[in-house]
Structure 1
Amino acid sequence: MAATGLPAVVPSVAALPEEVTIWEVGPRDGLQNEKSIVDVRVKLEFLDRLADAGLRVLEATSFVHPKWIPQLADAEELLAGLSKRDGVAYPVLVPNERGLDRALAAGVEHIAIFASATETFAARNLNRTLDSQFEMFDPVVTRARAEGLRVRGYLSMCFGDPWEGVVPADQVVAVGRRLLDMGCSQLSLGDTIGVATPGQVEALIAGFGDPAALAVHFHDTYGQALANTLAALRSGVSTVDSSAGGLGGCPYAESATGNLATEDLVWMLDGLGLRHGVDLAKLADTSVWMAERLGRPSPSRVVQALRG
């Protein structure tokens, strides 16, 4: 039997933010892991449907070299065809100065960079050491800020690394603070392989002191994404990354089930009585629509329940 679509609203006894910003990563982080190339017209309709559902931050694409992520080789074409809406931000990921050049030429107003909290992942993903990665990011952030762009910093492997194991919180805080000091206005703490647990989340956020500039990005590999999100909200974080329909996955962990599904997040936020601005029914319809185009059902539990 399908669920009613109406969660019971019972505010938490713990202190929580009154409003949560949902940073939708499906169009970029979700689709970049697809084995086949998604037509740019489908991507554009996906973005339009997400905006229509009330999402106000849509990470649209990445200016990484097509050799590395061919699924996003259409970044310029996508941005040229995008019907931007007032009040909606369309950030893009840039890996280096060349990526920034392309973003500026496309008229982008908001970028993100992608850093590593561990030595091994920095070497494997960025071909840099933990320290030398900042030599690559500094000119990107400096130039972007000089051009009036907002800059977000993604920090990967914040809780566990497949080669190094559990990542010490003080190491993550040290790297994260360097990104903030460099000029990133927001830092997204990524559980790249989905191994974090709530106590670990609380401890890491506490290590930063003020959570105002922090966001969280959880993968649901071990089924902990929502629990970790609630722990982050209780720790003062008010921006949460998620992916419509649970699109995306982690190439570094076996059986990784991908990003936190935006529908699952919205159901929890609705139940807690927290404002977020998203129409759950429209969002679920959008995820079903996209799943049909990808040829498989959505892994989102809420989508499955509403359409069950």
Structure 2
Amino acid sequence: MTEYDYWKIFPRMPKKVTIGDITVRDGFQHEEKFISTAAKKFYLEELIFAGCRHIEVTNLGNPYLMPQFRDAEELLAHLRGDRFKKKCERKGINYDDICLTCITIREGAVDRAIQLKEKGLGPDRVLMMVSTEEEHHFANSGTSLPDYWKEAERCIKKCTDAGIKMCGTVSTIWGSPIGGATDMKDAVEFTKRWLEIGAHDVEHADHDGSASAPDVYRYFSMILDEIPETRLHIAHFHETKRVASASVLAALQAGITNFEATLGGLGGQPANFLDDCPVKGTGEYYYEDPRYVGLVTLEDTLVQIDEMGIKHGWDVDRVLWIGKQLERTVGRRLRSEAILNGRTLKEGHPEFARPGLVKVKAKLGEDPGQKLPRDWDEKANLPEQYRARK
């Protein structure tokens, strides 16, 4: 007999997850217009009020390369300010539960994070990144993998001394937009190396949407077989084929408990154009059609996980409202379907019912709720050829 209990089929699948938001950093970094500082503050606050406790605030890299983040210090100052802390207190939010992360791809940005920490404004956590495919890594960092690993090791020691956690990202796990196919075993090895040199946790990233559900399940099963502490692992999926929700499900089935997403599925490479001016970014984009770039959407992911009965700590309805506001901020329709269609309502949509069913059933002599003719047996008697073989 088939086993119907999902959690017996996938015994590693969690009953509770953590979903971090990276809209204001990863989401906005690909926008070709400057998102106002006021808007960034609004979305950072609203996401936290809606339940986010792990949030990426900004990128502390060189604003010349990524002018979208020229307001980085102002955003951190806002979230470290007494006014925001009092807002959290009024809403019953423990401020100490909020983890503020900044991206610090190179050592100069790490040093900036430490300086801000000394001023009382710094992040709780920073992030550096390696790709298993070296051409992709070079495009993002400007240096080789061996050289970068030594830099990361120095930076982790600096951060540990300063009281800042370091997340190590592993990218191109399932493929590279530059080098093509990759070996998942390399990503497992890189994960071990991050933890060996002192990383607090590891983000496992599908930055170009190469992943397929079977390979996601296989990879995270490999990871958890080697390093079973689920707190250490974060799944990060991008969309290019509209199958990232399948990757989320496969990661859940493998036992992953930490995920990241963006409102509307925003995100991608740092923009190489801002407002009316070309900017450096990370060079040419890896795609030809801008519709097929970005992350898995926060709204749809929350609805998916919520309807599976998995606890997540977010106010889903508030997130759907925030997603609608973001479409107005960026000025276009985004990827989330949930902000249009909402959640599956158990009570249905009675306003769409056609009038007259009650009268028709009464006229036919049927009872309310009757679904089969009275003279049919209560139990279906299947023809022999359709019965299950014992």
Both structures adopt the same fold (TM-score exceeding 0.5): yes
Q: 183-192 or 250-259: which moved more? A: 250-259
* 1:70–1:124 distance in 2 versus 1, CA, 3 Å: same
Displacement over 6 Å in runs of 4+: none
Please list the CA deviations of residues 164-197 of structure 1 after superposition, one character each: whole Å capped at 9, or x if unmatched: 2121011111222211211112111111110110
Measured on the aligned residues, the alpha-carbon RMSD in Å equals 1.7
How far apart in 1 are the matches of 2:287 and 2:248? 20
**Where in structure 1 are there 5+ consecutive unaligned residues?**
1-9
Q: How does 1:1-308 map to 2 (within 5 A)?
A: 12=7, 13-15=9-11, 16-82=13-79, 83-84=84-85, 85=88, 86=95, 87-104=97-114, 105=116, 106-208=121-223, 209-211=226-228, 212=230, 213-250=232-269, 251-255=285-289, 256-306=292-342
How far apart in 2 are the matches of 1:136 and 1:187? 17
3-state secondary structure, aligned to 2:208: coil
Aligned residue for 2:387? none
If the length of structure 1 is used for normalisation, what is the TM-score? Answer: 0.92
If the length of structure 2 is used for normalisation, what is the TM-score? Answer: 0.73
Q: Are the counterparts in 2 of residues 21 and 276 from structure 1 also a CA contact under 8 Å?
A: yes
3-state secondary structure, aligned to 1:131: helix
**Where in structure 2 are there 5+ consecutive unaligned residues?**
89-94, 270-284, 344-390
* Percent identical: 28
Which amino acid in structure 2 is aligned with residue 210 of structure 1?
I
Deviation at residue 11 of structure 1 after TM alignment:
5.9
Higher RCO structure, 1 or 2 (CA under 8 Å, sep 6+): 1
User: Aligned pair count?
Assistant: 298
3-state secondary structure, aligned to 1:81: helix
How far apart in 1 are the matches of 2:288 and 2:208? 9
How far apart in 2 are the matches of 1:304 and 1:11? 29
Which amino acid in structure 2 is aligned with residue 159 of structure 1?
W
Q: 283-292 or 13-22: which moved more? A: 13-22
Which amino acid in structure 2 is aligned with residue 56 of structure 1?
R
